[in-house]
Amino acid sequence: MVKKRVVVAFFFAAIASQLAPESQADTEKYEVTVQRNIPAKMRDGVTLRADIYRPKADGKFPVLLVRTPYDKTGILNFGLRAATRGYVVVAQDVRGRFTSEGEWYPFKNESLDGYDTVEWAAALPDSNGKVGMFGGSYVGATQYLAAISKPPHLAGICPTVTASNYHDGWTYQGGAFEQWFNESWSSGLAHDTMRRRSENNIKPLEGSKVLPLLSYPVLEPPSSTDIATYFTDWLANPNYDNYWKQISIEDHYADIQVPVFGIGAWYDIFLGGTLRNYIRMKTEAGTEAARRGQRLEVTVGGHAGGGRKVGAVDFGEKLQLDDEDVMLRWYDWLLKGEANGVEKEKPVRIFVMGKNEWRDEDDWPLARAKSTRYYLHSAGAANGLGGNGTLNTIVAAEEKADQYIYDPSDAVPTIGGPLCCQALPTGIGPQDQRPAEERKDVLVYTTAAFAKDTEVSGPVSLDLYASSSAVDTDFAGKLVDVWPDGFAQNLTEGILRLRYRNSQEKPEL
């Protein structure tokens, strides 16, 4: 991020490439045949259904597989596009969703179902036996969870804006329950579950047994009891225990044996997991091909929005890439063996906010980045924008402690940030933080105006020394960039429930 001035506002509250030239596949277009609701039997007898987009031509083609809880018909446009380029595209509803049988429970069945589906797809008549996967968010999770089961015909995955751990970084953040995300996501998922229950309640023949016929319940409303048992299970498992460990990608990097092209985004709710997957799989993946085959792209937005304007900030005309083409070009190289230049490119591409331009890099974090410590200072009254909090590189001496009173009936509002699955009334992504910074229960520490443009790229952490009169407290911190006109743009943020300060597994009060 490049700007003239930087401010750090710590919210202490009890909560807070250039496009590639046309490839061979672009110039050799195929007609497409589409098959709907093709059944695939899982090892336990449950049938999952998929739409298949095939090139209308003789020969064998690599397969691109997407497994989604969000309705497989949404893949129509990409399915047609990729099939015209010489891929068999398989779009499957995961277990318990839309046209597939079984009971829906997030994450639980994705490893075994993913394995079975990859092997089923590899054996399709037009398949050449090489299967790649794609998709974002939970659809990224279906890729990683399939990969850790090591299906023999899986050749690569391209997960977008997804996590590395479904406890910390998905359901919880620093031990705090991700209430807005968990509730908005679960409520959205419940629509299809209620639809399926409603359809099961349509029993017109039973009306023929009722005499005299005076009325007919055209549609009995389904019960919402146990509509999302996983939500209460999440609440019942706040610690990082075996409930979470069995589905954690971080605990299974050694089982991933294929190259991964991970795509993340600044302001995305799962950015930390995207970066962590790339960094750790370079050394911890299960094969040399997987360790050397890691690639990373970081754009802006993700779940926080697409287009050149994300939240309240316009990032310019260079931001938008054809991400489908970027992925297809990678798969053209990986699955088809095309000499399209991918093998000569640097493994990392990031969008530099502020400069608003793309830049290719040798690695992430950037080796040339200089880790710099900034220290919090005040005369004991850093409360709000009018306080005396400062931020600089001078080591703190003996100074008065800053204090504030937290009122749970008037909590500091979340303004923008890495949210999902819709915006809050206060916005999403980058937003002006001044309304929160004006509060007395927010401590603000501000640098002097920078004398020159300064890029801040890399991991950001906060070492906080604090005490609380409460049994437990959540402390949230934000790194904010203050523009010359005063606009206070949130860059990154974090939260920690203090009982988890030493361990996510063993809380300490």
The span from the CA of 46 to the CA of 487, in Å, is: 54
- Asked, as a colleague might, if the bond just before 69 is cis with ω within 30 of 0, I would say no
Nearest to 300, CA basis, from 346, 350, 363, 364: 350
Torsion of CA 103, 108, 109, 111, to 10 degrees: 170
Q: Of these residues, 126, 303, 402, 481, which one is catalytic? A: 303
Which residue in this structure is represented by tokens 């640097």?
346
Give residues with Cβ within 8 angstroms of 190, minimum separation 6. 224, 227, 228
Q: Of these residues, 137, 164, 248, 378, which one is catalytic? A: 137
Q: Of these residues, 51, 126, 268, 332, which one is catalytic? A: 268
The span from the CA of 143 to the CA of 330, in Å, is: 16
Asked if residue 476 lies in contact with residue 494, where contact means CB atoms within 8 angstroms, the answer is yes
377 is catalytic: no
- If you ran DSSP here, which 8-state letter would residue 311 be given? T
* CA-to-CA dists, residue 396 to 307, 377, 379, 392, angstroms: 42, 7, 12, 9
Give residues with Cβ within 8 angstroms of 452, minimum separation 6. none
Secondary element (H or E) of residue 376? strand 375-377
Count other C-beta atoms under 10 Å from residue 118's C-beta.
Answer: 27
The span from the CA of 421 to the CA of 128, in Å, is: 37
For residue 497, the SS3 value is strand
Work out the widest C-alpha separation in the chain, in whole angstroms.
89
248 is catalytic: no
268 is catalytic: yes
Residues involved in catalysis: 137, 268, 303
